[in-house]
């Protein structure tokens, strides 16, 4: 299939049936027909040049990041799924896989990454690493080890692969921040906290379910990834200071700090994350609006304390035992007014202005709030939909100013 045929398939276009026959050669002599030939069906070319598949995919992702209306978003998602089934270049396939993973669609992400690996191109190492991450997140230690072994075997110098493989082969132990604990029979601890199993992993560290032997309760222990001891202590101290400054019911509660082991201890939220609930597809609008109200209150407190979260997304919103939503992971939080380097962030939840060096403002979190609401399926909700559309406006000045403005706007809305 040629490039034009591929793009037609990507966009869902089909050629008219009368054009299926091969045209006459220039020097062919036509035979006079017994009756007039049927009228020629004109080919209507689209205005402007045809676009490459990678451009179509990036346009679709950019539209979804801007928080388009639900009907248009559904079309853009269909376009992404058609593209995922087609012959995307490796970098674009990795981008789409990352988006699917952000939506909790790990199966689709896995399929794309495995195709990239099969091509044995320059991006195969990154794809194998992504597959190892997916295996780790679902607790499949064997698969994670196999993918990392392939990275090491095919690309000896791939950054961090050998170190991650070494950690996967060991039980977590005190002082080794970020070590992976997957074997059910493995037991290790951070002081009085006995690590039970891994709950999740991110750029800053890994989070484990643990048991507080002193108080007889379950807690969550975040182990910062290994690094220079002093650098790790600085990261740990900075995150702990933000938690202390924004302490409120809407932010996960910090219980203990263990600087020597690079560990923070939090209240355990047994309801899991919004990312997992969204993936299950069983969220009713009234419940979703309640969770958004909880998140807005947490953002109001955070902004009043002078901080921007910068990484709000469904995976960083947890559900407590009482069913209320609490915001977690303040590792990227910074002071309002600081100038920050450009970041890519999580596709769909990062404001457009984050792609350039900019001054940090609460409207970054407001954009992410609107994207979380859209992920919860509320963009078409007659009551809250218009507010969410304002939150994800490309122009930051058109969004609600901060968390307090979100709380006020939610309070003024009618019921579901």
Distances (CA, A) of 2 to 7, 17, 339, 358: 9, 18, 47, 43
Q: 10 Å Cβ neighbour count for 220? A: 21
Angle among Cα 398, 404, 410 to the nearest 5 degrees reads 80
- Going by C-alpha positions, the residue among 319, 302, 303, 283 that lies closest to residue 244 is 302
Q: In a 3-state reduction of DSSP, which class is residue 220?
A: strand
Residues 6+ apart with CB under 8 A from 251: 243, 298, 301, 302, 326, 327, 328, 330
**Which pLDDT belongs to residue 163?**
66
If you average pLDDT over residues 13-34, what whole number do you get?
Answer: 39
The rounded distance, in Å, linking the Cα atoms of 406 and 112 is 37
Q: Give the count of beta carbons closer than 10 Å to the beta carbon of residue 247.
A: 12
Please tell me the least confidently modeled range out of 3-17, 83-97, 311-325, 372-386.
3-17
Distance CA 57, CA 48 (A): 18
More confident residue, 303 or 133: 303
Q: At what angle do helices 403-411 and 285-304 cross, to 10 degrees?
A: 140
Q: What is the pLDDT of residue 31?
A: 42
Q: How far apart are CA 118 and CA 136, in angstroms?
A: 21
Q: How far apart are the first and last CA of the chain?
A: 49
362 vs 299: CA distance, rounded Å:
9
Q: At 373, is the pLDDT very low, low, confident or very high (cuts 50, 70, 90)?
A: very high
The HSE-up count of residue 382 (CA atoms within 13 Å, CB side) is: 3
- pLDDT, tens digit, 9 for 90 and up, residues 216-259: 999 999 987 665 566 777 888 889 999 999 999 999 999 999 88
Least confident of 37-46, 271-280, 349-358: 37-46
Total residues belonging to the chain: 416
Residue with tokens 């050669």: 25
Q: Helix/strand/coil (H, E, C) string of 350-379?
A: CCHHHHCCEECCCHHHHHHHHHHHHHCCCC
Q: What percent of the chain has pLDDT over 90?
A: 37
What ranges in 66-168 are assigned the alpha helix state H? 70-84, 90-102, 106-119, 124-137, 141-154, 161-168
pLDDT at position 344: 56
pLDDT at residue 313 tops 90: yes
75-95 in b/e form (b: 16+ CB < 10 A) is ebeebbebbbeeebbbebbbb
Cα dist from 15 to 7, 8, 20, 45, 353, whole Å: 12, 8, 7, 11, 40
Q: Closest Cα partner for 89 from 130, 48, 122? A: 122
Average of pLDDT values for 3-13?
44
DSSP symbol at 17? G
Average model confidence (pLDDT) across the chain: 77
pLDDT top residue among 197 and 40: 197
**Burial letters 139-149, b for 16+ CB under 10 A, else e:** eebebbbebbb
Percentages helix, strand, coil for the chain (3-state, rounded to 5) are: 45, 15, 40
Structural domains present in the chain: 3-11+54-168 (1.25.40.10), 188-267 (3.30.200.20), 274-411 (1.10.510.10)
Band of residue 38 on the pLDDT scale cut at 50, 70, 90: very low
Q: Which residue has the tokens 């045809």?
A: 50
Rounded CA-CA distance 162/384 in Å is 48
Residue that wins the pLDDT comparison between 129 and 56? 129
Contact partners, residue 61, CB within 8 Å, separation at least 6 = 80, 95, 96, 99, 347, 348
> What's the pLDDT at 299?
98
Helices in 214-344 by DSSP H: which ranges? 229-245, 274-280, 285-304
| 309 or 342, higher pLDDT | 309
- State how far the Cα of 30 lies from the Cα of 155, in Å rounded to an integer: 61
Q: Kindly state the average pLDDT of the residues 188-194.
A: 79
Of the two residues 78 and 37, the one the predictor is more confident about is 78
Give the pLDDT mean for 182-200: 66
Least confident of 104-108, 156-160, 332-336: 156-160
């Amino acid at each position: 299939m040629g490039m034009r045929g591929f793009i037609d398939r990507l966009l869902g276009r089909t050629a008219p049936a009368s054009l299926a026959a091969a045209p006459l050669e220039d020097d062919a002599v036509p035979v006079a027909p017994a009756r007039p030939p049927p009228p020629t069906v004109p080919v209507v070319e689209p205005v402007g040049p045809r676009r490459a598949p990678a451009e179509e995919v990036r346009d679709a992702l950019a539209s979804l990041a801007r928080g388009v209306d639900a009907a248009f978003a559904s079309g853009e998602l269909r376009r992404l799924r058609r593209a995922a089934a087609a012959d995307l270049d490796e970098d674009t396939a990795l981008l789409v896989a990352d988006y699917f993973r952000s939506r909790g669609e790990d199966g689709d992400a896995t399929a794309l990454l495995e195709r990239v690996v099969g091509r044995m191109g320059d991006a195969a190492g990154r794809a194998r690493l992504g597959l190892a991450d997916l295996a780790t997140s679902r607790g499949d230690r064997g698969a994670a080890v196999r993918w990392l072994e392939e990275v090491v075997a095919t690309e000896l110098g791939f950054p961090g692969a050998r170190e991650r493989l070494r950690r996967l082969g060991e039980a977590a132990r005190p002082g080794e921040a970020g070590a992976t604990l997957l074997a059910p029979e493995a037991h290790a601890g951070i002081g009085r906290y006995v690590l039970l199993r891994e709950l999740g992993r991110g750029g800053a560290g890994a989070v484990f379910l643990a048991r507080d032997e002193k108080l007889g309760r379950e807690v969550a222990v975040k182990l910062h990834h290994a690094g220079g001891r002093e650098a790790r202590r600085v990261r740990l101290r900075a995150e702990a200071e933000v938690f202390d400054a924004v302490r409120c019911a809407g932010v996960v509660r910090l219980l203990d700090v263990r600087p020597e082991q690079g560990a923070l201890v939090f209240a355990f939220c047994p309801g899991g994350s919004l990312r997992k609930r969204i993936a299950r597809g069983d969220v009713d609008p009234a419940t979703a609006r309640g969770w958004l109200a909880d998140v807005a209150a947490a953002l109001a407190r955070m902004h009043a304390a002078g901080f921007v979260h910068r990484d709000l997304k469904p995976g960083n919103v947890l559900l407590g035992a009482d069913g209320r939503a609490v915001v977690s992971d303040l590792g990227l939080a910074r002071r309002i007014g600081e100038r920050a380097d450009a970041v890519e962030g999580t596709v769909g939840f990062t404001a457009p202005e984050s792609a350039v060096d900019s001054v940090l403002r609460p409207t970054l979190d407001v954009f992410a709030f609107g994207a979380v609401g859209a992920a919860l399926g509320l963009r078409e909700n007659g009551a809250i939909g218009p507010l969410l559309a304002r939150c994800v406006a490309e122009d930051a000045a058109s969004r609600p100013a901060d968390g307090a403005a979100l709380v006020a706007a939610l309070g003024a809305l009618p019921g579901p």
